[in-house]
Amino acid sequence: MKKPVIVKYNEDDILEILTEYLASEYGFDEFNTSAIIIGMPGKDLRLIAVIGDSEDDSIQEIKLDEIDKTIEFNGSHSKAKYINPNTFDKMKINDC
């Protein structure tokens, strides 16, 4: 059995991990990014990120706070429909 690993990351570490993951997911080998983490943990914490080609300097001019106000959540988990565990056994396939 492996020994547990304990980590404590600051905001820059978290942003780097998230943007590198997203860049890879969207097929960017070299990329330019602008990202912020806003909100309150456990309430409305969210990542706003723009990722593009490494030569696209216009990414730095994008107002992330405006993006936050204008787009819906589009992460893979935010697209999933919440299923109440108390009523799961009564659901039909079309309810999912």
Nearest to 51 by CA among 77, 29, 22: 22
pLDDT tens for the chain, 96 residues long, are 999 999 999 999 999 999 999 999 999 999 999 999 999 998 889 999 999 999 999 999 999 999 999 988 888 777 655 555 566 566 555 544
CA distance 56 to 26: 16
Q: Answer whether 73's CB lies under 8 Å from 46's CB.
A: yes
Per-residue confidence (pLDDT) for residue 90, from 0 to 100: 63
**Structural domain spans, the chain:** 11-71
